[in-house]
């Protein structure tokens, strides 16, 4: 790589999200076509991908978070943060649907998306992040390099894009040590 990327990571505002649905759907279709096990079978229809992103965008005003990565204006990556809405889970959030276009992988975009997500999680006092990814996939090396701990795997968890049942690997990362601290918003027992 000779020149630095003209990379921009953006937290998507709920009011702007609907305008991104077509681009996000194209990225999702591409990612599934290239073998990513992210909840869809190949071939993924554009309409199904758009319906997924419309539902995601509808959840943004309710506390879901979405980032996009652009290189020279082209949408090349995305990730979502889904905070637990229950009172007993205000300390955690799920990392969802990290995707980078196949042509842009290996250039640090996924790491930068995750750094933005983790920064927001800290601000929200969501000190425990968790995720699952296909066991044996390249994503495992990425998450491990970012400090996520693998806690095990579940066999035959989900079908990969080609329809074969595959195991999923479970990961977590502690951003905030809470051993002596109450949940955000919880009253002290003192």
- 103-144: pLDDT as tens digits: 999 999 999 999 999 999 999 999 999 999 999 999 999 999
Q: How confident is the model over 6-16, as a mean pLDDT?
A: 96
- In a domain, residue 182? The reply is no
Give the alpha-carbon dihedral of 35, 59, 10, 87, to 10 degrees.
-100
- The count of domains in the chain is 1
- In a domain, residue 186? The reply is no
- In a domain, residue 58? The reply is yes
- Each residue's pLDDT tens digit, 24-71: 999 999 999 999 999 999 999 999 999 999 999 999 999 999 999 999
The reported pTM is 0.92
Q: What share of the chain is helix, strand, coil (3-state, %, to 5)?
A: 35, 30, 35
- Say what the pLDDT of residue 1 is: 46
Q: Which residues of 156-179 are buried (b: 16+ CB within 10 A; e: fewer)?
A: ebbebbeeeebebbbbebebeeee
- In a domain, residue 78? The reply is yes
CATH number where 19 lies: 3.40.630.30
């Amino acid at each position: 790589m000779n020149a630095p990327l003209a990379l921009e990571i953006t937290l998507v505002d709920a009011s702007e999200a609907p305008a991104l649905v077509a681009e996000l759907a194209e990225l999702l279709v591409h990612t599934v076509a290239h073998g990513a096990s992210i909840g869809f079978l190949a071939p993924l229809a554009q309409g199904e991908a758009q319906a997924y992103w419309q539902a995601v965008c509808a959840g943004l005003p309710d506390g879901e978070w979405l980032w996009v990565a652009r290189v020279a204006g082209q949408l090349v990556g995305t990730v979502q943060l889904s905070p637990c809405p229950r009172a007993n889970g205000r300390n955690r959030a799920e990392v969802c649907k990290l995707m980078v276009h196949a042509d842009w992988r290996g250039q640090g975009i996924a790491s930068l998306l995750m750094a933005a997500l983790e920064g927001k999680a800290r601000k929200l006092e969501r000190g425990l992040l968790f995720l699952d990814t296909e066991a044996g996939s390249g994503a495992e090396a990425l998450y491990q390099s970012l400090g996520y701990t693998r806690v095990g795997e579940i066999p035959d968890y989900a079908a990969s894009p080609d329809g074969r049942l595959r195991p999923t690997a479970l990961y977590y990362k502690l951003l905030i040590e809470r051993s002596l601290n109450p949940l955000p918003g919880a009253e002290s027992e003192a």
